[in-house]
Structure 1
């Protein structure tokens, strides 16, 4: 008689979607690279680049909405690892370095469930928008 031991994987794989609104103000858009870190109550998602998956190839421009998707192996939910905030990092490498998002819609997809949250500048769950070093 043969016994088979099945190893149950505890690793998580999923996606987070961002709907990012850039403000409609002079100088609000940027050509720089934007990175995100998500802070959870137990585990953080380390810095990842945000790339627009929408029709526009010129992301994060003034008065524009960009849809971005990142792959994550960190599970966020409403009980065990609650999203505490996000940190956006602007690398300041290109023309129009300053960037001003007006709000961000964050959606975590886990199977058929979707967790939605508006992250608005000034809201306690919005950690910071770090400006590039001014040398």
Structure 2
């Protein structure tokens, strides 16, 4: 289980997990959420953590060459998700939600309260990279 209450982008993670709550979740939503989770270095800092997640959720164990690449892991998991039945998909969604915990008694309400407090504070001025500079220049045209 992973505690998401200390992540910088925990609101994004909570939104992803909420997407799995809907009864209208389809295969493409599940593939997208799992892909974002696996690619996230904040949630899973090491590939070993991703392997544990895959083993716990999907009951799959992959060879060493696959576990060295997050892209290969996403490809294998996407292929598995694409071929599963609806009942198994809902079970996987429930296991994913159970894998992540939020160490707050209030849950999502507490997250929104913290988000409002953070927005009230002054943010640091971050240096712009070349893409940001180009984007502002193009907006000026």
Per the normalisation by structure 2, the TM-score is 0.23
More strand as a share of residues: 1
Greater fraction of residues in helix: 2
Output the TM-score relative to the length of structure 1.
Answer: 0.23
